Amino acid sequence: MNCIILEDEIPAQKILKNFIAKIPDLKLLGTFKAAIEANSFLNGNDVDVVFLDINLPDMSGLDFIKTIKNPPAIIMTTAYSEYAVNSFELDTILDYLVKPFSFDRFFKAINKAKDRLETSKNTLGESENVLFLNVDKTHHKIILNTILYIESDRNYITVTTQTQKLSYIDSLKNWIVKLPANQFIQVHKSFIINSKFVDKISGNTIFVSNHKIPIGRTYKQELLNKLGV
């Protein structure tokens, strides 16, 4: 699971980092002191859990949650237990850790997050995002999770999935808007790839299910950041 810390107190950050390091399948992607910084990171990265302090310098943790579109699981951390009742009214809040909390209590919260993530994955598997492409007067069903990559050539778009390849008039810009940003990454002015099917990166070439896709110079660093390379 990927997580971030949003906490303005250095001692509290150190405790969380120490606890996170003890759990092998929990990966810390970043530590932030202000909500605005964390929000920018959440918009461009795949985060499963946020450890969130209530008292922040720019806005309260509770107000911050309300600004996040499709928020991940939230584990609140604060020294004030009286906030617990109000915070649990928000569905995205998974657990509430009152400082100072023990590793055992922290580990219990992580197990809750794992259970929620597993349930979410199973739900997505049952109702995958689907769209229909009108190509040559025929509506073709496309399951987003099966798309390997999308290529732009002048005014045409070619969508390559695990089972088919469809070309029609459209722009890459339209696809960038409709695709989940955490899964689909633009790697070139003419290509968007599905990170789920990335096999390897060699120089300025990315291999997506054995398909060679060029990597544009201006896109490479963001690509590496999103893949955690």
pLDDT score recorded for residue 123: 47
Same domain, 8 and 118: yes
86-103 pLDDT per residue, tens: 444 455 788 888 888 999
Same domain, 95 and 142: no
Residue with tokens 């405790």: 15
Same domain, 27 and 100: yes
**Rounded to an integer, what distance in angstroms lies between the CA atom of residue 160 and that of residue 166?**
7
Residue type, 5: I
Same domain, 101 and 146: no
CB contact at 8 A, 46 and 1:
no
- Using pLDDT thresholds of 50, 70 and 90, give the confidence band for residue 66: confident
Same domain, 55 and 166: no
Number of folded domains that form the chain: 2
188-208 pLDDT per residue, tens: 999 999 999 999 999 999 999
Which range of residues forms the domain containing residue 146?
130-227
- Mean pLDDT check: name the lowest of 10-19, 106-115, 134-143, 210-219: 134-143
Mean of the per-residue pLDDT values of the chain: 85
Structure tokens at 40: 């920018």
The verdict on whether omega for the bond into residue 214 sits within 30 degrees of 0, i.e. cis, is no
pLDDT score recorded for residue 90: 54
How far, in Å, are 9, 96, 186 from residue 112 at the CA level? 25, 11, 33
**Rounded to an integer, what distance in angstroms lies between the CA atom of residue 45 and that of residue 59?**
22
Same domain, 96 and 110: yes
**Does residue 37 sit in helix, strand or coil?**
helix
Same domain, 20 and 44: yes
98-121: average pLDDT: 85
**Rounded to an integer, what distance in angstroms lies between the CA atom of residue 23 and that of residue 124?**
26
Same domain, 189 and 91: no
pLDDT score recorded for residue 128: 55
- Using pLDDT thresholds of 50, 70 and 90, give the confidence band for residue 81: low
- The CATH number linked to 148 is 2.40.50.1020
Outline where DSSP puts E strands in 45-137: 49-53, 73-78, 93-98, 130-135
Beta strand 205-208 with 211-214 is: antiparallel
119-141: average pLDDT: 70
Same domain, 10 and 122: yes
